[in-house]
Structure 1
């Protein structure tokens, strides 16, 4: 009995690891904060919001699974400690979980509205296409993931029909921060990606030119967020200084000095911190 419980515990732990449970919590956290602080406090206890968030989380979890399914060999080089498929969970079960979670996400979306269902079908298809081929192309895969991340924020406004300028600002924020993080992850995973013929930006352009692209994205990002704020919904400058510009300056400084795998791993993690700071700032609006 004890051995069976241990096996079940190990399996559940592996499934949480495979689906990036921490990232799923951040997604749900972002959607609830968007609804509560940018749409209206009445949404926080709305059952429909719970269904919307659960559908998004299911699709994201399915996306992580199919990504790892296609990337097993690459991950054995880049992050061998993170490999789950083929070890704790078989490839057959991985595909089964992907199909079940994707289907659940689409069905939950359709329960809410045909628009949310359509968005979820679109997201499932793009996540599969990304994992199967697009992530091995320069910039295209990065752009795709960033777009889907921004969409996970905007879909809350799409469902409630609030047409909030602040939701658009935060969706743009999520888009740009994810785009930067995805490129940094490609720099971190250079060795494995290069071994298996991927054509990511660091492989095609080299590290130095890729850094220049990130600097340009950060500049465009800062200018865009500031412009949207001025044009649509003016907020006190201290919000941007504390929650955005100071962290971005630190990111810029650390990126300038980064040249080892561990440096890029730190930068990738710090991008998550900036994302959480940005989401948390919703509470002060």
Structure 2
């Protein structure tokens, strides 16, 4: 009886470990941020004049976001499939956890996730089905071929990361100048974050013959490239602030521009892998902060004054 309980306890622990391992493989924390980012973008950017309840109860919209999450999760799996050896140097503890799930099981989950996404996409519309079919191919092609080519892989990867938001455009079919500014700001921030990550992973890239920008063109060129993108971000951030149609989210862009300016002035002081890793985490933190600050678009000081005035008038 005791042995039976002990065996059950061991099996339960193995199952829990495998669940955590799979969560790590599909980067569950990134998926949670992506879900929040898509819904917040829908509520406050894509359809700000439509009722929130109406949008959240829209099954087609929910289906598109769900398909995006399934495809992105599948993308992390196939990328893990190809990059496992390289990640052993960069993230040994994470790789140890991920190895609790066999490669065969990962491949099965990858196929299942993509298949479910295509089935759901076909139920929404043929256009949505084609979009996610192409997206799945682009993700596989990145892991299979593009991943080892300097510069090309960085731009390609950022396009893949932004594409789930373009899936929302397939539904709303509306592209404004304001949306273009936000999309460009996010795209360049993702690109800078990815290039900085390459600066911190040069050792692993050399060992496994990954032709990253710092290795092929040198660290100085990489820093010049990052500086150029940061200057563009400063300009875009300033344009968004001056347009003054993002409510209190303008404070995020003020903070972001301040951080970019500090990084621009100090980037040549960064020398070690630890420096680049901290800078990478800083930019990732900015991405997460930017996602949560989308809700501030609706908090406009002028609107709040109007609400307060109407409230006071009713009391009187």
Give the TM-score normalised by structure 1. Answer: 0.90
Larger radius of gyration: 2
Structure 2, gaps ≥5 residues long? 1-7, 298-316
Counterpart selection for 2:87 from 65, 75, 85? 75
Question: Any unmatched runs of 5+ in structure 1?
Answer: none
The residue that corresponds to 2:31 in the other structure is 24
**Deviation at residue 238 of structure 1 after TM alignment:** 4.2
Relative to structure 1, is the Cα distance of residues 240 and 77 closer, same or farther in structure 2, using a 3 angstrom cutoff? closer
Tell me which residue corresponds to 2:162.
150
Instruction: Give runs of aligned pairs for residues 84-123 of structure 1, distance below 5 A.
Output: 87-123=99-135
Deviations 1:225-259 (A, max 9, x none): 5457768x855794464343123234435633322
Runs (4+) of structure 1 exceeding 6 A deviation are: 228-231
| Among 53, 56, 63, the residue aligned to 2:68 | 56
Moved more, 134-143 or 270-279: 270-279
Q: Does 1:36 align with 2:43?
A: yes
Give the 3-state SS of the residue equivalent to 1:71 in structure 2: helix
- Kept after mapping to 1: 8 A contact 2:21/2:98: no
Listed as ranges, the matches of 1:1-285 within 5 Å are 1-38=8-45, 39=47, 40=50, 41=52, 42-83=54-95, 87-224=99-236, 226-227=238-239, 234-235=245-246, 238-239=250-251, 241-253=253-265, 255-285=267-297
Give the 3-state SS of the residue equivalent to 2:29 in structure 1.
helix
- In the superposition, the TM-score normalised over structure 2's length comes to 0.82
> Hey, what's the Cα distance between the residues in 1 that align with 2:124 and 2:255?
33
> What is the alpha-carbon distance in structure 2 between the residues aligned to residue 22 and residue 61 of structure 1?
11
Measure how far apart 1:168 and its partner are.
2.8
**When the two structures are aligned, how many residues end up with a matched partner?**
284
